[in-house]
Amino acid sequence: MTISLLFGVHAHQPVGNFPAVIDDAHIRSYGMFLRVMERYPAFRFSVHFSGWLLDVLLERFPDDMARLAAMTRRGQVEWFGSGDCEPVLAAIPHRDRVTQIATLSDKIERRFGMRPSGAWLTERVWESSVVTSLVATGIRYVAVDDYHFLCAGESQDRLDSFFSTDEDGRRLDLFPISEGARYRLPFSPAGEAVAWLEDLARQGRRAAIYFDDIEKFGIWPETYEWVFEKGWLTQFIEGVLASPLIRTETYADYHARERTRGIVYLPTTSYIEMNEWTLPASRAREYHALVESEKATGRFEAHKPFLRGGIWRNFMSRYSEANWMHKRMLGASRRLAALPAAQRAPEMQEWLHRSQANDAYWHGLFGGLYLPHLRRAIWNNLLQLEAALERLAPWPRQQQGDLDHDGHVETALRSPLLHAYVRDDGHAALVEFSSLALAHNFGDTLRAYPEAYHDKIRYGDAGARAAASGAGIASAHDRVAYLHTILHGDADPDERPRGLFLDSAIDANDMMRPLDGYVPGAEPGRWVAGGEGWRIEKRYALEDDTLSVTFRIEGARPPATIETEINLAMPSCDGFGGRYILADGSVPGGFGDPLRIEDTRSLTLDDSELRGSLRIEASLPVSCDACAHRTVSQSEAGFEKIMQAVCITLAWSPAGGAEQRITLRALPVAS
């Protein structure tokens, strides 16, 4: 009896990723993979390219895309669809799921002559609500992990073919991706992988179902040498084609000739590693310890379906920055949907789709929440959409409500050029300060969070898993490496959020007290706090391209000093494109350099990546301290230290009762 190898690869790069990264990925993985596969027409396989990446590759590497088109025409390749900009479908409204899926399917049909019947689910995030959206766009089947089926109570020995599910009377078929295949290909020797498939055939298994990241073939650490220079992919293909027990098929052909295994209803879940990443640090440690304990006793495989961890949406509760971005995106989606159809330009839909790209909303071994350029791409597209909406259907200039459902009211202040949001959580700080002209959110930073994987830095790699086979190479899940030097304290979490205008009072003995007890004043935009014998009023206002924050201190015993901390997301970060400019025009350094100046009234942050600048001015002289705010995170390549923001602290003495007025003015470069 032969076994069908259903072999699929998924290619994706985040919206806004650096062109050099995409070029490198194509050179080391996508292009190499396609050129090898082209030599073996009998090896049939399936592909999914996210739509944004596909557009880039069609423009930059047309010859390799022509190869892929030729392989499609000769029946070697089946295309899978999905959301065009790789959203987590469960995290966006039904109307946007439909437009995202239809956009990519149209693109594939137009460019490659095939309309997808199957779909890749981003990060294999399954919620039953996505069924109706997929079916409405012509999708008949998707591939998710076999772990999803185990969590539904299915036995491993039945997971060799597709099942069916339904929602609201709509049927969708589900293929269970083999974890055994995911961990073997391409990490174990090619001969061992082929022998494993042949053993499955001898056991009477119908299909070996594989669908995973193509980046494992050349981009993951050590894989370029292993897969291409040492010939793993060629050896695997030739071994499969030479085996009398294995035949390759597309998912479409297999689906057309086989019957469903039966009905199944999957729980809300993703792949098992993701379910650990979604947990808060303390719970993730407990979960990881439980998993390791089960492995040590040999019970893990039997109990794995019942050790589920969290769900993808937990990232919105773990990271307030992701939640804020997500809820702002949903608000823009509602506003776009409310426009008359005649006013909805195609670029508006494209901006919305790009603002829904999954990568910047989450974090684990992958996921780009910690990467400023990926968050910036979300905000860039979202704010371009909001600028267009502002011209057609302006929002109210002032608005209050709990926009992100966190229990705190946000006050929105808007002008035709700027949007500012203040959260009523005691800090009275800005959580967003966006320039529509620059399509940039200066408040797009990330606080330092505790992460369970920081234990590997503090205590060494005692808990890391070893590679499955000494003859192969280690998966990125099993490696511990360092891209940057991580010093003691670098991974310590922040005690306060990272916003704009976080205030503190310093008494005559240099004792600092955070001002985190602000309450709303008599009108929107005003907040009041204080201490024994004094009171502070803080007032925000917008006018054209300028935000002003006015501090008024009253009372017989004011603090010796008031400080306000302004965290600013600057696109150049600590690169060459960012620099400070003093009032006299001199340049003391870049954003990654520490800066200390006394008795100043102005500072300009000039940024070539932004194509603009931000000017800070104070009505009273201030001392100014600036430094880089960095976080420590993990990626598939190792631990890295990333600059998130410029942290500027302004301090002044409130003696005499004079008002201090600080302004921020966003200035695009004149074209």
Extents of the domains making up the chain: 3-261, 279-312, 314-441, 500-512+528-668
Average pLDDT taken over every residue of the chain:
93
Helix and strand counts by DSSP (H, E) for the chain? 20, 26
Percent of the chain with pLDDT over 90: 87
> Whose CA is closest to 87, among 120, 44, 41?
120
* Strand 546-554 versus strand 561-568 pairing type: unpaired
Q: How many CB atoms lie within 10 A of CB 631?
A: 23
Strand blocks (E) in 544-657: 546-554, 561-568, 578-582, 595-607, 612-635, 638-652
What CATH code is assigned to 3-261? 3.20.110.20
Mean pLDDT of 156-162: 96
Out of 166, 167, 213, 238, pick the active-site residue: 213
pTM recorded for the entire structure:
0.93
| Range 219-223, long-range pairs (CB < 8 A, 24+ positions) | 219/24, 219/25, 219/28, 219/29, 220/475, 220/476, 220/636, 221/474, 221/476, 221/479, 221/481, 221/636, 221/637, 222/473, 222/474, 223/186, 223/473
Cβ atoms of residues 49 and 116 within 8 Å: no
- Whose tokens are 């989450």? That residue is 362
| Residue 160 appears among annotated catalytic residues | no
**Residues with Cβ within 8 Å of residue 551, at least 6 apart in sequence:** 503, 536, 537, 538, 562, 564, 654, 659, 660, 661, 662
Range with the poorest average pLDDT among 436-440, 484-488, 603-607: 484-488
Fold held by 500-512+528-668: Beta-galactosidase; Chain A, domain 5 (2.70.98)
Q: How many CB atoms lie within 10 A of CB 216?
A: 20
Confidence of residue 524 (pLDDT cuts 50, 70, 90): confident
Confidence of residue 461 (pLDDT cuts 50, 70, 90): low
* Rounded CA separation 565/445 (Å): 13
pLDDT of residue 556: 82
Confirm whether 3-261 and 500-512+528-668 share one CATH topology. Answer: no
- For residue 559, pLDDT over 90 is answered with yes
pLDDT in tens, 330-375: 999 999 999 999 999 999 999 999 999 999 999 987 768 999 999 9
Cα 196 versus chain centre, distance:
35
pLDDT of residue 485: 77
Percent of the chain with pLDDT over 70: 95
* Rounded CA separation 668/671 (Å): 9
* Rounded CA separation 247/253 (Å): 12
As beta bridge partners, residue 29 has none
| Residue 157 appears among annotated catalytic residues | no
Out of 64, 84, 96, 123, pick the active-site residue: 123
**Which two structure tokens, joined as six digits, stand for 258?**
């086989």
